Each structure stands twice: as C-alpha cells, then as structure tokens.
Chain A
C-alpha cells in the first residue's frame, strides 16, 4: 500500500529529521508508530498523508509514485486516507454531525445521500446525542471520537492516527484502541502514532520505532 525507499526529510536548511527510511505498510495491516517526543512521528505521518514532500527518496502510495502526482491527484489519493489529529482539528463553526459529514461533502455527496450513514456512525461511536453540539462544548473524549468518525466516514483504505489517546484517560484510551482494532478488522490498514507504551502493550501489533531520525521495524 505504502512504500518508502531511502526517504529523507529536512525542514529548510536544517539537518535531516528523518533519514534513510525504508519500510512498507501493507494492505489491512495494523501497526504502532512510536518513538520519543520530537523523534519525527508527526512528520512521518504527514509524509504518508502527502502534506509534506520528502527532500530525497521515493514514496509510492497505492502503486503510484507520489513525486509525479499533480495537486489534484494528491487530493484524490488523500480521499483514500483517514487522518486523526492529536488536536482533533474539528471545525468550530460546524456541529459534530457536520464535521463528520465533511469528507462526504468534499466527495460531492448530497445530504440526503450521506445523512443516514453519518447518523449511524455517530451512534456507533456514542455521539448520537451530541450530533448538534458544536466542538466547543464537547469533552476531550467526545472530540476524539468525532475526529475518528470523520476520519473513517469515507471508508478510507488507510487510517493514520496521531497520538489518538494523548488527551484521554486510560479507560477511554483502551476503548479507542478497540475501535481502531475493529476498523482494522473491517479492512482498513491502521497506523497509530503513540508514545504510550501501555497502549501498545494492549495489542500485539507491528511496531515502527523512530529513533534519531531512523526507523526500526519490529514485526
């Protein structure tokens, strides 16, 4: 699904924050991406989300060389990827329902087409009673679930989650992990960036460990 070959990344004229990355993410796979704070986990996720370009190396996604893609092609590839941010990035002027429906609106679907689907997913993640709530009045856990629902509503083939349990208590963290595992069972490849050792110990999965800009893979 995703292949990195000798990928390096630097910001401006600084030293490389990621270097010589060689790894692959397989279809339907589940992995944790971990490493100390500042190791480059978010940068690596942004490379996978096509919101950053590598300074060297080759990244191929869904059998396409990302360096040769047009801006519209990159947008179309992003539609196959769901992303959950640590800071949620919900749009403040939209209700939970509208935030979750956003990817479907971007796909050009009308409300009559996606309404039932969004409502069903919101109920599934336990936000059935918070559909009309604005993000400002949601709790941290509710925001996180809304962000996850938005990431999966368009049925992505790859789900990237950046510290999805960073702002929630351990109990809620475990429940979110259960949610990701179920999504993976339904066919979505999952990459969870976390430095929460406890969370990783909950589920036996492949670990991608970033250390001093290099990636070590533990299958």
Chain B
C-alpha cells in the first residue's frame, strides 16, 4: 500500500505573512543619559556670575575660543561647525549651546537656534542668556506666549537682567498689545540703566496711547 497519495499541499498564507512581517514596528532605543551640570549662580544688587564645572580638555577650550573668533568675524558657518563639535565634547556646559543658538539665529536658522537653546537650558535651566535668546527666537517664530515665558524665566533668575526686561517690554508693546505690561517693564528696565533716550521716547508714546485709549 502506497501512502504517498495522502500528501496534501500546504497552502502558505504568504501574502498575509509578508504583511505581518512588514507591519512589525521598529523598536526605539532609550535616549542617552545627559551629563548633569554642576552650575552655581552668585548674585548681588548689580549683577550675577554663573559658574559651571567644566571637565574639558585644553583642546576643547581652544576650539571654543576659535569658534568665538569665527563668530565675531562674521564667519557664521565656520563658527557653528566648530561650536557643534565643542558642544558634543562638552554636553554638560551651557555656553557652547547658547552661543550656537545665537549663531543659528544670526544665520536665520530659527529651528536650529531653538533646538540648541533648549539643549543649553537642559544643561543649565537657570541661565538668563539662554532664556533671553530663546525668547527672541520664539518671538521671531511668532510664538509670543512662549517668548513671554522665556523672558519671564530669565527675569525670575535675575530681575535686573536688562536685556530680558527690555525685550519683554517690547514684546508686550508691539506683539501682545498689552500696554500695561509694556509700561511696567519699560519702567523696570529704566531702573537698570543710567539712560536710554530711545526707550524714554517709547514710554512717552506708550503713555500717550494709553491715555487716548482711556478717553
């Protein structure tokens, strides 16, 4: 008796199998742990000093200084390229990323500016420069509420930080149409400088508009 006639073909659901194979999701890895900064801020009535613990080689310091030379000479792309390498080598330091953010802003790449400034704030959440520069970037991107939060974050670290104070006043004046906020911040700004004729004129114009609005 020959049993070979019993053999029946298996019917592979090939298409279904392939579909299942192709629909499988890729796994995502965990992000690498960020280097935690050790930053200190000391302040007094007239200013503040931020110090971050820097465990970087002399080469990295040299590259940072070279990058700044490029940026000060207006060689943005060279400066950015070098600063990216410095930031990679010193992920726990905020300065390279703040400077990168400023450079990207000057280069017109607001997306990169925002990204690097946010990374700077991960390294040091209390750096007024990073908050102020991020506020400028947000304003340019039309994200006014976030710009306001950024300026206010800078001022929360140091209320006399005149850059953020004036920028907040301008934001309220021009973009948020919040004249009271603008006036208060112009006034606060004027207490941080000995004179600013331009802002004095703006305040007069603002007061005039507020008076006209009140009538």
A associates with B: no
Give the interface of A toward B (CB within 8 A): none
